[in-house]
């Protein structure tokens, strides 16, 4: 039997032309991905920016836009509201998704398939269709202009997707672990919390990160459900910088850069689990 040559080409064996083409492609793709962020950063460092295409970064750069946003607006209040809503939504959604995903993975009960299809179908409706009925529901419950309305609305979006994702992750965990827990006298709930839940940390990290970002940057529900400035989140509050009669792009750009900090912090702590959680959840289903 003839030995097949190794198809994997090492770096030293790649031709010069292919190396140049590969690196040029990578540089171009990186530039396309990073350029919008760099442009927003440039605008945020230019006081009085009015949409001009001319860039004199080192001549006019200052932190005046950041200083104004932090001291002359309710940015701190909006930030605190967004943190409360995002973390509460994440905690509620991950708890509901984890328990529902485990039940769908391990048990076969009446309505099992119907519930799975219901979770799937709910993902087909765009936000524009759901805003009005959800607003009417929140208004009937007296929750309009409260953070609770946003938490519940965001959970309705996150839970179905996260449940499907965690179900796939739980399917990848051997059922023998559950059986060993029952042999040791654990109840199904005890087996889940003591054995399965710790093993599911990568999948939980992915769903938590997704839920946090979804709640952190959502605009439609935040604009429709919240009416007072004191209750607004960042996504709704930033609209004050660009209205029908004025466009303060420099302030908007500075605020946009600032709101990426919490998301970056969350990503920093969740990154070691993201790859494992994303790949493991798709191995079985």
The DSSP result for 126-137, as a single string, is -HHHHHHHHHHH
178 contacts 196 by C-beta, under 8 angstroms: yes
- Name which residue leads in pLDDT, 248 or 49: 248
Mean residue pLDDT across the chain = 82
The answer to whether the pTM exceeds 0.75 is: yes
pLDDT over 70, % of the chain: 85
pLDDT of res. 1: 46
273 contacts 202 by C-beta, under 8 angstroms: yes
| CA distances in angstroms from 55 to 31, 33, 37, 49, listed in the order given | 18, 20, 15, 10
pLDDT of res. 89: 95
pLDDT over 90, % of the chain: 22
Least confident of 80-84, 136-140, 212-216, 269-273: 269-273
pLDDT of res. 7: 52
pLDDT of res. 95: 93
Q: Where are the domains of the chain?
A: 74-242+259-280
Least confident of 12-26, 44-58, 194-208: 44-58
pLDDT of res. 60: 64
* Confidence grade of residue 48 (pLDDT, cut at 50, 70, 90): low
57 contacts 42 by C-beta, under 8 angstroms: yes
* Confidence grade of residue 281 (pLDDT, cut at 50, 70, 90): very low
284 contacts 168 by C-beta, under 8 angstroms: yes
Q: Residue range 115-122: average pLDDT?
A: 82
- Quick check: 184 pLDDT over 90? no
pLDDT of res. 97: 92
pLDDT of res. 140: 92
Over the stretch 130-183, which tens digit does the pLDDT of each residue have? Answer: 889 999 999 999 999 999 999 999 998 899 888 988 888 888 888 888 888 888
Least confident of 61-75, 147-161, 171-185, 269-283: 269-283
Distance (Å, whole) CA 259 – CA 219: 14
- Name which residue leads in pLDDT, 73 or 275: 73
Superfamily for 74-242+259-280? MetI-like (1.10.3720.10)
Task: Identify the three-state secondary structure at position 266.
Answer: helix
pLDDT of res. 81: 93
Q: Residue range 261-270: average pLDDT?
A: 80
Tell me the H-state helices in the chain.
Answer: 16-44, 57-60, 64-72, 75-106, 112-122, 127-140, 147-171, 176-183, 188-191, 197-199, 201-217, 220-225, 234-237, 249-280
pLDDT of res. 285: 42
pLDDT of res. 154: 93
Q: Residue range 107-133: average pLDDT?
A: 83
């Amino acid at each position: 039997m003839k030995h097949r040559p190794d198809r994997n080409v090492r770096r030293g064996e790649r031709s010069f032309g292919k190396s140049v083409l590969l690196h040029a492609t990578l540089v171009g793709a990186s530039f396309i991905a990073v350029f919008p962020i760099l442009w927003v950063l440039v605008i945020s460092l230019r006081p009085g920016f009015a949409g001009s295409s001319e860039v004199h970064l080192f001549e006019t750069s200052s932190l005046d836009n950041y200083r104004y946003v932090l001291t002359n607006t309710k940015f701190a209040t909006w930030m605190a509201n967004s943190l409360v809503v995002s973390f509460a939504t994440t905690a509620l959604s991950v708890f509901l998704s984890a328990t529902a995903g485990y039940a769908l993975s391990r048990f076969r009960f009446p309505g099992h398939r119907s519930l799975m299809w219901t979770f799937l179908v709910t993902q087909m409706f765009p936000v524009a269709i759901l805003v009005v009925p959800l607003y009417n529901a929140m208004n009937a419950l007296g929750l309009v202009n409260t953070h609770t309305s946003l938490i519940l609305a965001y959970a309705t979006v996150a839970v179905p997707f996260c449940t499907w994702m965690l179900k796939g992750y739980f399917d990848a965990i051997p059922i023998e672990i559950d059986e060993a827990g029952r042999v040791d006298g654990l109840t199904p709930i005890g087996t889940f919390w003591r054995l399965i839940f710790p093993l599911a940390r990568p999948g939980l990290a992915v769903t938590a990160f997704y839920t946090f970002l979804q709640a952190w940057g959502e605009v439609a529900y935040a604009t429709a459900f919240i009416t007072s400035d004191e209750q607004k989140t960042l996504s709704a509050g930033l609209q004050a910088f660009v209205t029908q009669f004025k466009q303060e792009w420099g302030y908007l750009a500075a605020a946009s850069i600032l709101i990426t900090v919490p998301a970056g912090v969350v990503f920093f702590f969740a990154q070691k689990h993201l790859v494992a959680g994303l790949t493991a959840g798709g191995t079985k289903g």
